[in-house]
Chain A
Amino acid sequence: MNKKKKRAGTARYNKWGYIFLLPFVIVYVIFQLIPLIDTIYNSFFENYRSGLKQIGPNFVGLANYAKLITTGDLPTYFANTMIMWVLGFIPQIVLSLILAYWFSDPSLRLKGQRFFKTVIYLPNLIMAAAFAMLFFTLFSDSGPINSILVGAGIFSQPYSFFSHVGSTRGLVAFMNFIMWFGNTTILLMAGMMGIDTSLYEAAQVDGATSSQVFWKITLPLLKPILLYVMITSLIGGLQMFDVPQILTGGTGDPNRASMTMIMYLNNHLYSKNYGMAGALSVILFIITGLLSLLVYRMVGGTADDSYGKPAKRSRKAERR
């Protein structure tokens, strides 16, 4: 009797669940779901401006998609994005692993840990647009970096960083690396702290060297987090925009070699070519959707110990 009454008592409150959910649902439907459906709808129409003439909207089926892929623009920009992501991600993950290992190694007793963590996390909070503008001025032909390099006799004349493919892509990758390695370090460190210390003690008793401990214990146990970091970083990398946009003034030069997919989307949005912009968005949506499915299965499927990470990583995805 008592039990039944109690259950009825809580049930009375449960309609409040819907009431508290209402703001989220309304705002999500209006500002996310409807735009998403609209975007998909647009992708099937020819709709752009040619000079002063408005073409469309005419239903063209999958023609926009075919055009995106066959003209070669999308594959090129996808490759650019991936190259710049990989160039930044490899040093980032290697360095973050090493730093996280050092920070969490008690036998190393590193002093000033808080200071170092504060410093390496700092670039993550800097406005990417302003940081890119800063790099643009610093690395310009008459900027301080060239003035130092020429002054030191390394170059006989200023090196034009932004008219060479390698240096432009390299700078974008370097900026992404500097902006994100602190964040990755802190994440991996938290993962390492979660490893049972008795494993380390046992290894120490058995006389394992620190590199053996790293390769045989830390790394295998860290695999889920590493995989997670990689996929979320990839999702963030696909959204690369602010840095190359400002660095190259939106052109993606030299030779469009640093034009990313979102920059391409941005160009279509500005020129009001809604058909192409829609098709491009849908392709991006499918790619990120597949990748997030992987993340979701890793997060949702596993036990409590992997909780919490996505909240902050997807922040990364949002901010690229």
Chain B
Amino acid sequence: MEQKRKRVKRAGHGRRVVAYIVLAVMSFLCLVWFYILFINATRSNGELGRGFSPIPSTHLLENWNNLIQGTLPVFNGLFNSFFIAITSSVLTVYFSSMTAYAIHVYDFKLKKFMFTFILSVMMIPTQVTALGFVQLVDRMGLEDNFIPLIIPAIASPAVFYYMKQYMTSALPMSLVEASRIDGASEFRTFNRIVLPIMKPAMAVQMIFAFVGSWNNYFTPALILHNDKMKTLPILIAQLRAADWLKFDMGQVYMMIAFSIFPVIVVYIILSRYIVGGVALGAVKG
């Protein structure tokens, strides 16, 4: 008996070692690219040409100065990306909560139809409507404008669905009724009573919406053509399309780092909520 337990324990021990090795290898495969990126952003074009070295060099500032004085409007890109991401993510969580509230709290004729409709269009990719979308933007004269990248965020079926699930588990109807008895208007009830309860779900979805918009390349590339209006992913694509061998490679790495590292920093600060949020979406009853 004693022997058997020991054997089981040893087997468990062996599995644990294997698990740690696999996890270490996968962590390495996830992180090594960003390490190389950081190292290479600190090296000059000449050093980069001489081959790879795992040790950082001293040209970080020089590459940075070259990049911001170069031809790519990186600060415009940063501002545009940030502006679009923040406004669209605020709109998406606010209005998705509102849509979810309409379906969750009220009882009206088209309720069931609307719910079914939103669920069934949830998986339609934005790419399949891109042609009509571009033509529409053309007709409205909204090319080189942020509006077609921000306003559509109001209608986001996936975020709606998440909010609806969260409301089902976290918003008791008695609270809404109590607020009505206190004489609050429906808008006030939604803004003052319901939204604070939705905060955790809104935070999670806002992070995802922000990152989604920040990283989006397909749609903005179809709408924004003026250099001053372009977002970071479009500038990256432009860098790729240019005859990149003529580039100062230190600058190229700096530009990539410039687009990637802000998200990594935010992720490190908020990682607990983000990873929790992914799981939350899956467990939530």
A residues whose Cβ falls under 8 Å from a Cβ of B: 10-11, 13-21, 23-25, 27-28, 30-32, 34-39, 42, 95, 98-99, 102, 107-110, 114, 116-123, 125-131, 133-138, 142, 144-145, 147-148, 151, 178, 181-183, 186-187, 189-191, 193-194, 210, 232, 235, 238-239, 241-242, 245-246, 249-250, 262, 265-266, 269, 274, 277-278, 281-282, 284-285, 288-289, 291-293, 295-296, 299-300, 304-305, 307-312, 314-315, 317-319
Which residue of B37, B159, B180 contacts A134 across the interface (Cβ within 8 Å)? B37
**Which residue numbers of B lie inside 8 Å of A, CB to CB?**
12, 15-16, 19-20, 22-23, 26-27, 29-31, 33, 36-37, 40, 49, 51-52, 95-96, 98-99, 101-103, 105-108, 110-111, 114, 116, 118-136, 148, 151-152, 154-155, 157-162, 165, 180, 186, 190, 208, 211-212, 214-218, 222, 232-233, 236-237, 239-241, 244, 249, 252-253, 256, 259-260, 263-264, 267, 271-272, 274-275, 278-285
- A18 contact set on B, CB distance < 8 A: 102, 108, 110
CB-defined A-B contacts under 8 Å, sample of 29: A31-B148, A32-B121, A35-B132, A35-B136, A36-B128, A36-B129, A36-B132, A38-B131, A110-B20, A116-B23, A126-B260, A126-B264, A127-B214, A127-B259, A133-B240, A137-B253, A137-B256, A138-B36, A147-B52, A151-B51, A249-B241, A274-B135, A281-B129, A288-B128, A299-B119, A307-B285, A309-B281, A311-B281, A312-B278
Q: In the complex, which residues of chain B have a beta carbon less than 8 angstroms from the beta carbon of A299?
A: 119
Task: Looking at the assembled complex, report how far the CB atom of B191 sits from the nearest CB atom of chain A, in whole angstroms.
Answer: 12
Query: For residue A14, which residues in chain B have a CB less than 8 angstroms away from its CB?
Result: 106-108
Q: Which residues of B contact A241 (CB under 8 A)?
A: 127, 217-218
B215 touches A129 (CB 8 A): yes
When the two chains form their complex, are residues B285 and A21 in contact, meaning their CB atoms are under 8 A apart?
A: no
Given contacts A13-B180, A137-B253, A144-B40, contact A122 B267 (CB under 8 A): yes
State whether B274 touches A108 (Cβ < 8 A). no
Q: How far is the CB of B61 from chain A (nearest CB, A)?
A: 21
B133 touching A35 by the CB < 8 A rule?
Answer: yes
Instruction: Take A311-B161, A314-B122 as given contacts and tell me if A35 and B135 are in contact as well, using a CB distance cutoff of 8 Å.
Output: yes
Are A129 and B159 in touch, CB under 8 angstroms?
no
**A-B pair number, CB within 8 angstroms:** 332
A17–B186 Cα distance when bound, in Å, is 10
Rounded to whole angstroms, the CA-CA distance of A25 and B12 in the bound complex is 55
How many angstroms from the CA of A33 to the CA of B15 in the assembled complex? Answer: 53
Chain A residues, Cβ within 8 Å of B272: 114
Q: In whole angstroms, what is the CA distance A255 to B46 when docked?
A: 33
Q: Are B127 and A310 in contact (CB under 8 A)?
A: no
A128 near B161: Cβ-Cβ < 8 Å:
no
When the two chains form the complex, which single residue of B102, B237, B278 contacts A187, counting CB atoms closer than 8 Å? B278
Give the residues in chain B near A238, CB-CB below 8 Å: 125
Are B241 and A250 within 8 A (Cβ)? yes
Q: Determine the chain B residues whose CB is within 8 A of the CB of A42 once the complex forms.
A: 131-132, 135
Q: How far is the CA of A114 from the CA of B40 in the complex (A)?
A: 29
Q: Which residues of B contact A34 (CB under 8 A)?
A: 132, 136
- Closest chain-B Cβ to A3's Cβ sits at a distance in Å of 15
4 other A-B residue contacts (CB within 8 Å) besides A110-B20, A308-B283, A318-B125: A39-B130, A99-B26, A242-B217, A288-B124
If A27-B155, A38-B136 touch, whether A292 touches B26 (CB-CB below 8 Å) is: no
What's the Cα separation between A281 and B29 when bound, in Å?
Answer: 36
A-side contacts of B237, CB under 8 Å: 129, 245-246
Asked if B285 and A310 sit within 8 Å, CB to CB, the answer is no
Residue picked from B16, B129, B130, most chain A C-beta under 10 Å: B129
